[in-house]
Protein backbone atom coordinates (compact mmCIF):
# COMPACT_ATOMS: atom_id res chain seq x y z
CA UNK A 1 0.00 0.00 0.00
CA UNK A 2 1.36 3.44 -0.93
CA UNK A 3 1.70 6.23 1.62
CA UNK A 4 -1.09 8.09 -0.22
CA UNK A 5 -3.44 5.12 0.05
CA UNK A 6 -2.58 4.60 3.69
CA UNK A 7 -3.38 8.21 4.61
CA UNK A 8 -6.64 8.34 2.63
CA UNK A 9 -7.65 4.91 3.96
CA UNK A 10 -7.00 5.96 7.56
CA UNK A 11 -9.09 9.12 7.27
CA UNK A 12 -11.91 7.36 5.45
CA UNK A 13 -11.95 4.41 7.84
CA UNK A 14 -12.25 6.72 10.85
CA UNK A 15 -15.13 8.67 9.34
CA UNK A 16 -17.25 6.05 7.57
CA UNK A 17 -19.92 3.79 9.00
CA UNK A 18 -21.46 0.53 7.81
CA UNK A 19 -25.24 0.25 7.57
CA UNK A 20 -26.53 -3.31 7.14
CA UNK A 21 -29.33 -4.14 4.69
CA UNK A 22 -29.45 -0.72 3.06
CA UNK A 23 -30.89 0.07 0.55
CA UNK A 24 -31.79 -3.60 -0.01
CA UNK A 25 -31.41 -6.75 2.14
CA UNK A 26 -27.89 -8.20 2.05
CA UNK A 27 -26.11 -4.97 1.11
CA UNK A 28 -23.69 -3.44 3.63
CA UNK A 29 -23.86 0.25 2.83
CA UNK A 30 -20.66 2.30 3.29
CA UNK A 31 -21.98 5.61 4.58
CA UNK A 32 -19.48 8.38 3.98
CA UNK A 33 -21.58 11.27 5.32
CA UNK A 34 -19.59 11.41 8.62
CA UNK A 35 -16.50 12.31 6.57
CA UNK A 36 -18.36 15.13 4.81
CA UNK A 37 -19.51 16.41 8.21
CA UNK A 38 -15.96 16.67 9.54
CA UNK A 39 -14.29 19.73 8.01
CA UNK A 40 -10.76 18.82 9.08
CA UNK A 41 -10.85 15.19 7.91
CA UNK A 42 -12.69 16.01 4.67
CA UNK A 43 -10.26 18.85 3.99
CA UNK A 44 -7.31 16.50 4.49
CA UNK A 45 -8.77 13.97 2.04
CA UNK A 46 -9.32 16.71 -0.55
CA UNK A 47 -5.73 17.94 -0.05
CA UNK A 48 -4.38 14.43 -0.63
CA UNK A 49 -6.46 13.97 -3.80
CA UNK A 50 -5.42 17.39 -5.12
CA UNK A 51 -1.72 16.74 -4.43
CA UNK A 52 -1.85 13.37 -6.15
CA UNK A 53 -3.15 14.84 -9.40
CA UNK A 54 -1.50 18.26 -9.33
CA UNK A 55 -0.74 19.55 -12.82
CA UNK A 56 -2.22 16.50 -14.58
CA UNK A 57 -5.90 17.33 -14.78
CA UNK A 58 -7.89 19.86 -16.86
CA UNK A 59 -11.37 19.04 -15.57
CA UNK A 60 -12.84 17.09 -12.64
CA UNK A 61 -16.03 15.14 -13.39
CA UNK A 62 -18.18 14.08 -10.42
CA UNK A 63 -20.76 11.27 -10.48
CA UNK A 64 -24.17 12.15 -9.00
CA UNK A 65 -24.73 12.42 -6.14
CA UNK A 66 -21.87 11.68 -3.78
CA UNK A 67 -19.26 12.32 -6.45
CA UNK A 68 -20.51 15.91 -6.56
CA UNK A 69 -19.76 16.42 -2.87
CA UNK A 70 -16.14 15.36 -3.37
CA UNK A 71 -15.56 16.48 -6.95
CA UNK A 72 -16.68 20.12 -6.81
CA UNK A 73 -14.48 21.24 -3.88
CA UNK A 74 -11.62 19.15 -5.27
CA UNK A 75 -11.84 20.96 -8.63
CA UNK A 76 -11.74 24.30 -6.81
CA UNK A 77 -8.66 23.23 -4.83
CA UNK A 78 -6.95 22.14 -8.05
CA UNK A 79 -7.88 25.34 -9.88
CA UNK A 80 -9.79 23.51 -12.64
CA UNK A 81 -13.43 23.31 -13.69
CA UNK A 82 -16.04 20.82 -12.51
CA UNK A 83 -18.43 18.90 -14.77
CA UNK A 84 -21.40 16.88 -13.46
CA UNK A 85 -22.26 13.36 -14.58
CA UNK A 86 -25.98 13.35 -13.79
CA UNK A 87 -28.74 10.83 -13.43
CA UNK A 88 -31.09 10.71 -16.43
CA UNK A 89 -33.32 13.68 -17.22
CA UNK A 90 -31.62 16.36 -15.13
CA UNK A 91 -29.30 18.12 -17.58
CA UNK A 92 -30.97 20.80 -19.73
CA UNK A 93 -28.73 20.73 -22.81
CA UNK A 94 -27.97 18.09 -25.44
CA UNK A 95 -26.72 14.93 -23.71
CA UNK A 96 -25.12 11.55 -24.25
CA UNK A 97 -26.39 8.73 -22.03
CA UNK A 98 -25.15 5.42 -20.68
CA UNK A 99 -27.19 2.77 -18.84
CA UNK A 100 -25.64 0.38 -16.34
CA UNK A 101 -26.24 -1.98 -13.41
CA UNK A 102 -24.93 -1.32 -9.91
CA UNK A 103 -24.79 -3.30 -6.66
CA UNK A 104 -28.42 -2.58 -5.81
CA UNK A 105 -30.20 -1.69 -9.04
CA UNK A 106 -29.76 -0.05 -12.42
CA UNK A 107 -29.60 3.51 -13.68
CA UNK A 108 -28.80 5.80 -16.60
CA UNK A 109 -26.33 8.66 -16.38
CA UNK A 110 -25.82 11.58 -18.75
CA UNK A 111 -23.33 14.29 -19.66
CA UNK A 112 -23.70 17.40 -21.77
CA UNK A 113 -22.20 16.77 -25.22
CA UNK A 114 -20.37 20.13 -25.03
CA UNK A 115 -19.15 19.63 -21.45
CA UNK A 116 -15.42 19.57 -22.27
CA UNK A 117 -12.92 20.56 -24.94
CA UNK A 118 -11.66 17.68 -27.14
CA UNK A 119 -8.80 15.84 -25.43
CA UNK A 120 -9.37 17.43 -22.01
CA UNK A 121 -7.62 15.46 -19.24
CA UNK A 122 -10.47 14.31 -17.03
CA UNK A 123 -10.35 13.03 -13.46
CA UNK A 124 -13.56 11.14 -12.65
CA UNK A 125 -14.55 11.18 -8.97
CA UNK A 126 -17.00 9.10 -6.93
CA UNK A 127 -17.19 7.89 -3.34
CA UNK A 128 -17.50 4.09 -3.67
CA UNK A 129 -16.37 1.51 -6.24
CA UNK A 130 -18.61 -1.55 -5.87
CA UNK A 131 -19.44 -3.66 -8.96
CA UNK A 132 -17.83 -1.02 -11.19
CA UNK A 133 -21.00 -0.50 -13.25
CA UNK A 134 -21.17 3.21 -12.44
CA UNK A 135 -17.44 3.67 -12.95
CA UNK A 136 -17.33 2.04 -16.39
CA UNK A 137 -20.41 3.96 -17.54
CA UNK A 138 -18.88 7.24 -16.29
CA UNK A 139 -15.52 6.72 -17.98
CA UNK A 140 -17.22 5.68 -21.24
CA UNK A 141 -19.41 8.78 -21.12
CA UNK A 142 -16.38 11.03 -20.60
CA UNK A 143 -14.78 9.49 -23.69
CA UNK A 144 -18.01 9.87 -25.69
CA UNK A 145 -17.97 13.64 -25.08
CA UNK A 146 -14.31 13.82 -26.17
CA UNK A 147 -12.45 13.76 -22.86
CA UNK A 148 -9.48 11.60 -21.94
CA UNK A 149 -9.78 9.77 -18.59
CA UNK A 150 -6.53 10.31 -16.64
CA UNK A 151 -7.94 8.74 -13.51
CA UNK A 152 -10.95 7.27 -11.78
CA UNK A 153 -10.68 7.99 -8.06
CA UNK A 154 -12.90 6.81 -5.23
CA UNK A 155 -12.50 6.87 -1.47
CA UNK A 156 -13.77 3.32 -0.84
CA UNK A 157 -13.27 0.14 -2.90
CA UNK A 158 -15.41 -2.94 -2.15
CA UNK A 159 -12.81 -5.37 -3.46
CA UNK A 160 -15.01 -8.46 -2.98
CA UNK A 161 -17.24 -7.19 -5.80
CA UNK A 162 -14.19 -6.94 -8.12
CA UNK A 163 -15.20 -3.71 -9.85
CA UNK A 164 -11.54 -3.02 -10.57
CA UNK A 165 -11.42 -5.91 -13.05
CA UNK A 166 -13.85 -4.02 -15.29
CA UNK A 167 -11.73 -0.86 -15.23
CA UNK A 168 -8.54 -2.12 -16.85
CA UNK A 169 -8.65 0.62 -19.49
CA UNK A 170 -8.32 3.43 -16.97
CA UNK A 171 -5.98 4.27 -14.05
CA UNK A 172 -7.93 3.59 -10.84
CA UNK A 173 -6.97 5.00 -7.42
CA UNK A 174 -8.78 3.99 -4.27
CA UNK A 175 -8.35 4.77 -0.59
CA UNK A 176 -9.96 2.34 1.85
CA UNK A 177 -10.11 -1.18 0.39
CA UNK A 178 -12.73 -3.45 1.97
CA UNK A 179 -12.69 -7.25 1.58
O1 LIG B 1 -19.84 0.19 -8.47
P2 LIG B 1 -21.35 0.25 -8.50
O3 LIG B 1 -21.98 -1.07 -8.18
O4 LIG B 1 -21.84 0.84 -9.77
O5 LIG B 1 -21.81 1.20 -7.32
C6 LIG B 1 -21.18 2.42 -7.01
C7 LIG B 1 -22.13 3.58 -7.11
O8 LIG B 1 -23.25 3.42 -6.23
C9 LIG B 1 -23.43 4.61 -5.49
O10 LIG B 1 -24.23 5.54 -6.15
P11 LIG B 1 -25.82 5.53 -6.24
O12 LIG B 1 -26.19 5.10 -7.63
O13 LIG B 1 -26.40 4.77 -5.11
O14 LIG B 1 -26.19 7.06 -6.20
P15 LIG B 1 -26.16 8.24 -5.12
O16 LIG B 1 -24.73 8.73 -5.05
O17 LIG B 1 -27.06 9.23 -5.78
O18 LIG B 1 -26.65 7.73 -3.80
C19 LIG B 1 -22.02 5.14 -5.34
O20 LIG B 1 -22.02 6.52 -5.01
C21 LIG B 1 -21.45 4.87 -6.70
O22 LIG B 1 -21.78 5.88 -7.64
N1 LIG C 1 -22.23 -1.05 -0.47
C2 LIG C 1 -22.29 0.22 -0.92
N3 LIG C 1 -22.16 1.26 -0.06
C4 LIG C 1 -22.20 2.54 -0.53
N5 LIG C 1 -22.38 2.85 -1.79
C6 LIG C 1 -22.53 1.85 -2.67
N7 LIG C 1 -22.72 1.85 -3.99
C8 LIG C 1 -22.82 0.57 -4.39
N9 LIG C 1 -22.68 -0.27 -3.38
C10 LIG C 1 -22.50 0.51 -2.28
Tens digits of residue pLDDT in 48-67: 999 999 999 999 999 999 99
- Residue 54 exposed, middle or buried by CB count within 10 Å (0-12, 13-18, 19+): exposed
- Residue 62 exposed, middle or buried by CB count within 10 Å (0-12, 13-18, 19+): buried
- How many Cα atoms within 13 Å fall on the side-chain side of residue 115? 31
Q: From the CB of 63, is ligand 2 less than 6 Å away?
A: no
Tens digits of residue pLDDT in 86-114: 999 999 999 999 999 999 999 999 999 99
Q: What is the pTM of this model?
A: 0.97
Instruction: Give the closest ligand to the alpha carbon of residue 156.
Output: 2
The residues facing 79 across adjacent strands are none
- Ligand 1 pocket (Cβ < 6 Å) reads 63-66, 102-103, 107, 126-135, 163
Rounded to the nearest angstrom, the distance between the alpha carbon of 128 and the centre of ligand 2 is 6
Instruction: Give the closest ligand to the alpha carbon of residue 26.
Output: 2
Domains within the chain, CATH numbers bracketed: 55-178 (3.40.50.2020)
Rounded to the nearest angstrom, the distance between the alpha carbon of 126 and the centre of ligand 1 is 8
Atom number in ligand 2 closest to CA 31: 4
CB 126 within 8 A of CB 120: no
Q: What is the pLDDT of residue 89?
A: 98
Which residues in the chain show pLDDT less than 50?
none
Task: Note whether ipTM > 0.90 here.
Answer: yes
Q: What is the pLDDT of residue 13?
A: 98
CA–chain centroid gap for 163, Å, is: 13
Tally of CB atoms within 10 A around 119: 10
Rounded to the nearest angstrom, the distance between the alpha carbon of 128 and the centre of ligand 1 is 7
Q: What is the pLDDT of residue 2?
A: 85
Q: Whose CA is nearest to atom 1 of ligand 2?
A: 29
Q: From the CB of 28, is ligand 2 less than 6 Å away?
A: yes
SS3 152: strand
Residues with active-site annotation: 66, 103
Amino acid sequence: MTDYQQRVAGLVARHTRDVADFPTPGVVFKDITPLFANAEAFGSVLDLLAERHEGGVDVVAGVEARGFVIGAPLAQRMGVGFVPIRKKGKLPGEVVAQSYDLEYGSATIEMHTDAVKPGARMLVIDDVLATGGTAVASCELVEKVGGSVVGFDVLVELAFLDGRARLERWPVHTGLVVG
